[in-house]
Structure 1
Amino acid sequence: MTALLEISGLSARYATGAPVLHDVALSVAQGEFVTVIGANTAGKSTLLRAISGVGPRVEGSIVFEGTELTGIAPHARPRLGIAHVPEGRHVFPEMSVEENLAIGAHARGAHASGKAAAPERLEMVYGLFPRLKERRRQFGGTLSGGEQQMLALGRGLMLDPRLLILDEPSLGLAPMVVEEMHDRLVDIHRNGVAILLVEQNVSLALSVASRGYVLQSGQIVLSGEAGGLLQDDRVREAYLGI
């Protein structure tokens, strides 16, 4: 498969600290679903921030559709087709659901070549998350945690992304909502969007992804097909308590 995202020799650190990532290499093919699993301090969120250009200082290469990202400003990266849904949702609490979604379309650019118009994207998001349509006039800050996660994900999809990167989308959600989120991620992937998922819920991550990487202390220590990782004794003992 043709690589959509290709990372090699990636190291990252924040301004006042020691390196968080060390010589990381991973790839996501066109339309592929890849997950990165690991403990809280493994560097998973830092990896996603390095891709979107927010936060760490990086060394190495991050290539997206043949374009080296390390020289591109963070605000320009969504226009290339990268949507980052960060941990914690970060919806705008005093804006309506529909206004939050409109910001996603604006971030990509109103006239992105070959992309679906914002009204079409809006209907697609409402099709995935009917509750957002029901609450489209409601302020983001009044939504439940699960609804806010739907809104954050929907805002990312309004960019019409080629690559959707997700940071802990199931964090703090009730089991029933996590199951619903699982189903929606599968639907999004079936529609042709490549996904890079960071997730502490290892069972969830490896059940939806096709391939995975295990990040430990800032380094990739294991990778392979998701089904194989789910059966790997090292993964089962360290992350599934089996």
Structure 2
Amino acid sequence: MDLALWLPLLGIPIVVLGFALRFNPLMVVTVAGVATGLAVGMDGLSLLETFGEKFMSSRQLASALLILPVIGLLERYGLKQRAQSWVASIRSATTGRILMLYFVVREVSAALGLLSLGGQAQTVRPLLAPMAIAAASNQYGELPQSIRDRIAAHAAACDNVALFFGEDIFIAFGAVLLMTAFLKENGINGVEPLMIGLWAIPTALCALVIHLFRLSRLDARIAREVQDWQLAQSALATSAKAQVAV
């Protein structure tokens, strides 16, 4: 077995191990890129030049800097409160249903190339998470901070997972074009962006089914945790009254 053929794959176990140990994602990806570059014989200057080119060519960084001040102004003037009050007026809305609907819309829109339709800064934090939390509050009343954090985490996961698996279907997506160019540079011909997009559809459908199943169980889990919290609060209040009576 030729070891040189496996060296370009060195970054994969580094990424897997780093994410499994919950290290900083940016640090993990950077270390994986540096390790892969050194393994294939790139010198330090070439590595630095490559990182710089990729950083400068990414326009998403600049767009995020423009979006954040706008979202901040909208939140200051009541965007989050309006979203919560609107969801509270819908009786059939539950946390799981709202997140399931967003997941489907996000994955389908990403597959069509509308990558900026959602996002953590512009959609999840000011709209989706408050709406999901408001739906649970409308059902159960006051919520402990642990449940609020869990709902917010599920909202963020919906956006990440749907975007990750949906965007690979869009044949003009940068990663798809990058894979096609990489394969051609290494002598692997006959793999077109359309083929990669078609093969991404089964994976996206599996991700859709699995994540919708997880979200379908979220409402029941929230109900159990709220009930346990309310019982604990009631027991604590009873204990406090008993101590006062003594």
TM-score between the two structures when normalised by the length of structure 2? 0.26
* Larger CA Rg, structure 1 vs 2: 2
Higher normalized helix content (fraction of residues) = 2
Larger relative contact order, structure 1 or 2 (CA cutoff 8 Å, min sep 6): 1
TM-score between the two structures when normalised by the length of structure 1? 0.26
